[in-house]
Structure 1
Amino acid sequence: MTILETVFLVIFWAWVLSAALFLRNTLLPRLPISRTPEQFNLHAETVRFRATDGLLLEGWKLSGEPSHPWIVLCHGVGSNRSDLLEIGAGLSERGFNLFLFDFRGHGGSDGRATSFGWQEQRDLEGVLAFLGQETDVSAKPYGVYGISMGGSVALMVAARDERIGAVAADSPYTNLDESIGRHRALMYPFLPKIPFHWFLRSTYRLRFGVWPQQVSPEEGARQLSRCPLLLIQGAEDPRMPREGAERMFTSAARPKELWIVEGAAHLEGYAVNPQAYLRRLGQFFEASLER
């Protein structure tokens, strides 16, 4: 075997390993709906609707006072809508109407794989279209609260959709390319950045038709000229470091707020101080959405 053939085989098998690891992480176990609205004294209607690319999704519609604002809650990767019920209950107590749903490949929604934020934008667009057709839903702009991937999706959709009137994003990534690189280092520290990050980037492009650098909540935040933004960030988050949130906040259009939760790792802001979290979140939406 020549040196050239050896190099080719090393590169080939490195790419195969990268592709296998990446694609495995797009096919996450589907967690069951572990909690119900009734457990939080909430009355919900289970609804089925379609993403803008036709995929069938499932959610809960929690109607209260018709004239009050609606808030859409978006979960993170490997989760589902039931994980946001506790925060949703806190927002409901403040008079908001709520819509919780499962992204594709999660909970009760169709689909198998997650794209970590690219195709999921079609899901949130489908929510907005569904709410727009409901006769008991006010035509006023909606608030969107999202965690991790859910917050990232909210930022990207809000940048181009005037139906969203305010975004609260807890621990979004800056862009997907950086997030993939960071998770590679955390999950597979034995894989060197070169060449494996390039292989992961290329695999994403082949699988989803877009480069991960193009999936950019940071760019979305920069374009929110008319939409108030609340960024929530754990000070000790190894997956979405505070430096990224600070950079995103600096580049974001006004009006904007940044809340660094001391002592919190990834998505631990609520657990650190539930009362303070709900108060800050509720006050933001009350100030940002027309009643």
Structure 2
Amino acid sequence: MMLWLILFILLAFLTFSAFVGYKMVKPPRFVGDWTPRDLGYDYEDVTIETRDGLKLSGWWIPNGDKTVIPLHGYTRSRWDEVYMRQTIEFLLNEGYSVLVFDFRAHGKSEGNYTTVGEKELIDVISAIDWLKKHHPENAEKIGLVGFSMGAVVTIRALAEDERIACGVADSPPIYLDKTGARGLKYFANLPEWLYHFVKPFTKLFTGGKELNMVEYAHRVKKPLLLIAGEKDPLVRPEEVREFYERNKKVNPNVELWVTDAPHVRTLKLHPEEWKARVEDFLSRHL
């Protein structure tokens, strides 16, 4: 009887871990109703086909010969109003064209699961493919501005795609296991230790590979602005600082700005300083 009880408890625990893992890699889709026209700009609805066969939904907003691609975070989309709408408006007001899309399994894009930065690199590379094909005159100078998961992809893309000139990474998770464990507590009020049991199921569902962002500290040699917040419950500023210290050994154009903000909230709390710093960075390197 005791053995059956132990087996039942074990099975229930594994089932719960699998359920949590499934919910982590299949977040609810966030879709809004505003468009760039509400910001005063004409735009085009676009479909970007990824190199692995998915269709991503996005907007093309022509506005200048240089293009910046804003990249949203986990569970969000281009409609996010905490940082995406403000970033899009800021970039347009500064005279940049903007290509913005929903990552796979987010917003209106295809895809069953998110890999929180691993396969999402394919999405960015495919978006640049689309831009090069359809608007080559706007693709000579390309910059990225990424938030959280989008910041992870920004860092990876700077190392992987020579067509990108520079990138801004706001609140980038460096140790994804630590951020994932903190995320269980932050998003679901579950104990951080549960992540070690949940993680295998997330990899099983998605087929995603494990990321080691620290290795990119030796690979990124293009201009990179890192932004970290002292009150961030998901990404410790010292982790971003560690990446910065490693990267500056090989990259003279890496910068670090540490603020008093929570996760991806520097733009909301310090909008004018965020815009001034990002515009200065983009104007120098893009």
Same structural fold, with TM-score higher than 0.5 when normalized by the shorter chain: yes
Q: Tell me the residue number matched to 2:242.
A: 247
Q: Residue 187 and residue 86 in structure 1: after superposition, are their counterparts in 2 closer, same or farther (change >3 A)?
A: closer
Q: Residue 51 and residue 190 in structure 1: after superposition, are their counterparts in 2 closer, same or farther (change >3 A)?
A: closer
Aligned: 1:273 with 2:270 = yes
Q: Residue 188 and residue 109 in structure 1: after superposition, are their counterparts in 2 closer, same or farther (change >3 A)?
A: closer
Output one character per residue of 1:119-151: Cα deviation in whole Å (capped at 9) or x when no partner.
Answer: 212111110111111245344241100111111
2:195 aligned to which of 194, 197, 201: 197
State the Cα distance separating 1:7 from its structure 2 match. Answer: 4.6
Q: Residue 140 and residue 217 in structure 1: after superposition, are their counterparts in 2 closer, same or farther (change >3 A)?
A: farther
Aligned: 1:78 with 2:55 = no
Percent identity, aligned pairs only, is 27
User: Counterparts in 2 of 1:165-244, with a 5 A limit?
Assistant: 165-187=165-187, 191=191, 193=193, 196-211=194-209, 214-225=210-221, 227-244=222-239
CA distance in 1 between counterparts of 2:214 and 2:206 reads 20
Mean CA deviation greater in 47-56 or 76-85: 76-85
Aligned: 1:61 with 2:60 = yes
Q: Which TM-score applies when normalising by structure 2?
A: 0.90
CA distance in 2 between counterparts of 1:127 and 1:96 reads 16
State the Cα distance separating 1:186 from its structure 2 match. Answer: 3.3
Q: Which TM-score applies when normalising by structure 1?
A: 0.88
Q: Residue 285 and residue 178 in structure 1: after superposition, are their counterparts in 2 closer, same or farther (change >3 A)?
A: same
Tell me, what secondary structure is at the counterpart of 2:11? helix
State the Cα distance separating 1:176 from its structure 2 match. Answer: 2.3
Q: Tell me the residue number matched to 1:107.
A: 107
CA distance in 2 between counterparts of 1:250 and 1:146 reads 20
Q: Residue 172 and residue 34 in structure 1: after superposition, are their counterparts in 2 closer, same or farther (change >3 A)?
A: farther
CA distance in 2 between counterparts of 1:120 and 1:111 reads 11
Q: Which residues of structure 2 form unaligned runs of 5+?
A: none
State the Cα distance separating 1:284 from its structure 2 match. Answer: 0.5
Q: Tell me the residue number matched to 2:133.
A: 133
**Structure 1 contact 131–137 (Cα < 8 Å) conserved:** no
**Structure 2 contact 144–166 (Cα < 8 Å) conserved:** yes
**Structure 1 contact 154–169 (Cα < 8 Å) conserved:** yes
Q: Residue 268 and residue 9 in structure 1: after superposition, are their counterparts in 2 closer, same or farther (change >3 A)?
A: same
**Structure 2 contact 78–100 (Cα < 8 Å) conserved:** yes
Aligned length: 280
Provide the alpha-carbon RMSD of the alignment: 2.0
Q: Tell me the residue number matched to 2:11.
A: 12
Q: Which residues of structure 1 form unaligned runs of 5+?
A: none
CA distance in 2 between counterparts of 1:278 and 1:8 reads 56
Tell me, what secondary structure is at the counterpart of 1:140? coil
